[in-house]
């Protein structure tokens, strides 16, 4: 184990999300951090290796996206109240896919705190999947399945197409490309969460048009103030309202080359 360990931020979890991890989950976060540090010596998983940055930019940032589905241990913080309507049943086990998961973000922290949610970690790079499979076994997570493929392929394949309740996409490409990867994979009434940095009115208008071509709509935008770093990030919530036209997603590489 390295001499670098994660900070304890129970107070910040509670203040910002109205929730905090159990001590077992804290230990799993720590274990995940150590695994990433070790694997990073051979694989380029992340540039974020400082313990405080890792806590904020990988753990906290991953979990803020599923804030509507966190059990409210204390009153929901005001800044999250607009999202309360998104979660219908907090006890429902959501079937989740993390598209372009890389080193496992946001999927692995979510798998740790939601052991009853089946989570598929999708990435097109086999080396990353090999790491994720080892990490998942080491963390004792039984709810995670790795999948090495392109989102464009999976979105056209049974049993994946139109089968997930929640699709998460962080740092994979422009919002319209992420929407084309995510919406075909969602079941009706499922949600996609796009983790974005800056978010402009222009992007919002563009995404609205793209979402409607794909059978979805933009239902909420959450401006996220990071607990430590300056700047604001955004989580964009899309809901699937109609089946996606079979022509989407287009062939491998086309969504990124010719965004809708």
**Which stretches of the chain bind ligand SAM, using CB under 6 A?**
100-103, 105, 122-125, 128, 150-152, 170-172
Q: Which residues contact 255 (CB under 8 A, 6 or more apart)?
A: 152, 173, 177, 180, 181, 249
CB of 253 to ligand SAM, least distance (A): 8
* Closer by beta carbon to ligand SAM, 53 or else 241: 53
* Closer by beta carbon to ligand SAM, 152 or else 162: 152
CB of 247 to ligand SAM, least distance (A): 17
Distance CA 48, CA 28 (A): 18
* Closer by beta carbon to ligand SAM, 21 or else 102: 102
* Closer by beta carbon to ligand SAM, 171 or else 209: 171
CB of 168 to ligand SAM, least distance (A): 8
Cβ atoms of 161 and 155 closer than 8 Å:
yes
* Closer by beta carbon to ligand SAM, 176 or else 242: 176
Buried b (16+ CB within 10 A) or exposed e, 97-122: bbbbbbbbbbbbbbbbbbeebbbbbb
Closest to 102 (Cα-Cα) out of 118, 124, 83? 124
Cβ atoms of 195 and 225 closer than 8 Å:
no
Cβ atoms of 165 and 191 closer than 8 Å:
yes
Distance CA 67, CA 59 (A): 13
CB of 82 to ligand SAM, least distance (A): 24
* Closer by beta carbon to ligand SAM, 108 or else 218: 108
SS3 38: helix
* Closer by beta carbon to ligand SAM, 100 or else 216: 100
Beta bridge partners of 220: 237
CB of 155 to ligand SAM, least distance (A): 9
Pairing mode, strands 186-196 and 232-240: antiparallel
CB of 188 to ligand SAM, least distance (A): 23
SS3 200: coil
User: CA-CA distances (angstroms) from residue 240 to 1, 137, 183, 188?
Assistant: 43, 33, 7, 5
CB of 250 to ligand SAM, least distance (A): 11
């Amino acid at each position: 184990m390295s001499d670098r360990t994660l900070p304890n931020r129970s107070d910040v979890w509670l203040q910002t999300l109205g929730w905090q991890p159990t001590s077992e989950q804290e230990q799993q976060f720590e274990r995940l951090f150590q695994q990433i540090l070790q694997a990073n010596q051979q694989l380029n998983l992340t540039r974020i290796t400082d313990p405080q940055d890792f806590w904020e930019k990988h753990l906290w940032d991953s979990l803020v996206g599923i804030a509507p589905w966190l059990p409210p241990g204390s009153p929901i913080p005001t800044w999250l109240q607009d999202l309360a309507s998104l979660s219908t049943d907090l006890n429902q086990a959501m079937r989740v896919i993390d598209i372009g998961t890389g080193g496992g973000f946001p999927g692995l922290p979510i798998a740790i705190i939601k052991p009853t949610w089946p989570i598929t970690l999708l990435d097109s790079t086999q080396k990353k999947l090999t790491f994720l499979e080892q990490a998942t076994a080491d963390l004792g997570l039984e709810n995670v399945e790795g999948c090495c493929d392109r989102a464009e392929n999976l979105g056209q394949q049974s049993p994946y197409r139109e089968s997930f309740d929640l699709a998460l996409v962080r740092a994979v490409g422009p919002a319209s490309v992420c929407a084309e990867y995510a919406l075909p994979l969602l079941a009706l009434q499922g949600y996609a969460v796009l983790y974005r940095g800056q978010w402009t009115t222009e992007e919002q208008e563009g995404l609205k048009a793209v979402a409607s071509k794909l059978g979805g709509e933009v239902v909420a935008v959450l401006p996220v103030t990071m607990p430590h770093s300056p700047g604001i990030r955004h989580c964009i919530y899309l809901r699937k309202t109609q089946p996606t036209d079979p022509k989407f997603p287009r062939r491998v590489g086309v969504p990124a080359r010719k965004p809708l």
